[in-house]
Amino acid sequence: MNDKNNKVMNFKFTCEKEDDGLPVVDIIAQTTSLSKSLVKKLMANGSVFQTFKNNRKHVRKARKTAKAGDLIECYYDPTINLDFNFEFNLLFETKNYGIYHKPAGAMSEGNNYGDRTSLIRHVEKIKRDVYLVNRLDREIEGLVLVAYNSRTQNFMQEMWRGNVVKKYQAVVLGRIRDQGFFDKKINNKFTKTIYTCIDVVDNRSYVEIKAVTERKYQIRMHFSDNGHPIIGDPIYGEHNKNSKGLMLISYSLEFEDPHDQRQIKVELPQDRMLF
């Protein structure tokens, strides 16, 4: 979208007495170089916040007014397409939780720069209460489990630490040995990734992965640190660039339902598998 400001902007403003009753959109537009139409889009995107008496909330509607003492925040990143919509497919559901297909490029949950295109915001529009159980890096396509009540979230996050089988597929640079594991500490915390090489084509290996633990960037760091960065990783590795993006997907979850002890197994559709 064309606008005067094409740089990342973090705006914070404490309202004075003369700002009492003014629309938040007007305060931001008058104090920054952003147009009112763009500010309205940022509100809908979840990039504007209002804090009163330590209560921080999104400002999503243009008619919202400010009070003296309010802290107004607006976060703008011109690289975020405010008009783009991701498709999040529901693959499995009970009354207590759902398993959703998150596409590559979509966030599991929002941040200061917005939540409109995140999975959690999508589910919030459908369900009364939503609680993330797991998250995937923005670049990773795959399965995300969302609880529909806090009790289920607590059950499943506890279960996630050791009683959920989490499987991935990846294409990595180089010819990796048939099978093995990595167990290097990340931020002084134990991590373990088990892999099996399924095939090698040219200088790329196709691997099945089981994440025993699940730390941020764990799989990507493990393979990169051991000389086999994942193809298309924009952060880790060298000579592994790929125009089609990160070649890593979370394709399978297996666990026992904590409510009725059924064995649950959910996988991505076959046409979304890497191999």
Domain of residue 25, CATH code = 3.10.290.10
pLDDT at res. 161: 86
Total of domains in the chain: 3
Q: What is the CATH number of the domain that holds 211?
A: 3.30.2350.10
Domain hosting residue 149, numbered range: 89-163
Q: Is residue 107 part of a domain?
A: yes
CA-nearest of 166, 167, 159 to 256 is: 159
Say which residues have a Cβ less than 8 Å from residue 108's Cβ, sequence separation at least 6. Answer: 102, 118, 119, 120, 132, 134, 135, 136, 144
The residue count of the chain comes to 275
List the beta bridge partners of residue 253. Answer: 166, 266
Based on the domain organization, do 115 and 172 belong to the same domain? no
Alpha-helical segments (H) within the chain: 24-31, 36-45, 119-124, 150-160, 218-225
Among the listed residues 106, 44, 52, 118, the one whose alpha carbon sits nearest the alpha carbon of residue 74: 44
Q: Is the CB of residue 115 less than 8 Å from the CB of residue 124?
A: no
274 in a structural domain? no
Contact 9, 76 (CB under 8 A): yes
Please indicate, yes or no, if residue 71 is contained in any of the structural domains: yes
Q: Do residue 198 and residue 144 come from a single domain?
A: no
Residue 202 lies in a domain: yes
Residue 182 shares a structural domain with residue 240: yes
Cβ-contact 110, 102 below 8 angstroms: no
Could you tell me if 149 and 96 lie in one domain? yes
Please tell me whether residues 197 and 138 are part of one structural domain.
no
DSSP character string of 26-53 = HHHHHHSS--HHHHHHHHHHT-EEEEET
Is residue 270 included in any domain, yes or no? Answer: no
Q: Quick one: 174 and 156 in the same domain?
A: no
Closest CA to 11 of 92, 89, 72: 72
Tell me, yes or no, whether 172 and 158 share the same domain.
no
263, 253 Cβ separation under 8 angstroms = no
pLDDT of 98 reads 98
Same domain for 156 and 170, yes or no, is no
pLDDT at residue 3, rounded to an integer? 53
- Is the residue at 181 inside a domain? yes
The CATH number given to whatever domain includes residue 112 is 3.30.70.580
Asked if 200 and 155 sit in the same domain, the reply is: no
Residue ending a domain, among 163, 189, 204, is 163
Q: Are residues 93 and 51 in the same domain?
A: no
Q: One digit per residue, pLDDT tens: the chain, 275 residues?
A: 445 567 899 999 999 999 999 999 999 999 998 999 999 999 999 999 999 999 999 999 999 999 999 999 999 998 888 888 999 999 999 999 999 999 999 999 999 999 999 999 999 999 999 999 999 999 999 999 999 999 999 999 999 988 999 999 999 999 999 999 999 899 899 999 999 999 999 999 999 999 999 899 999 999 999 999 999 999 999 999 999 999 999 999 999 999 999 999 999 999 999 99
Check: CB of residue 113 under 8 Å from CB of residue 80: yes
Residues 146 and 103 in one domain: yes
In sequence order, the 6+-apart residues with CB closer than 8 A to the CB of 78 are 3, 5, 6, 7, 8
246 and 169 co-located in one domain: yes
Question: Which tokens in the block code for residue 30?
Answer: 């008058």
Q: Which of 117, 148, 163 is the last residue of a domain?
A: 163
- The answer to whether residue 128 is domain-embedded is yes
Last residue of a domain, one of 109, 142, 163: 163
- Look at residue 83 in the predicted model and tell me its pLDDT: 84
Q: How far is CA 238 from the centre of its chain?
A: 24
Residue 4 lies in a domain: no
* Interaxial angle between packed helices 24-31 and 36-45, expressed in degrees from 0 to 180 and rounded to the nearest 10: 120
What are 132's strand-pairing partners? 146
pLDDT for 5: 63
Position 79 scores a pLDDT of 83
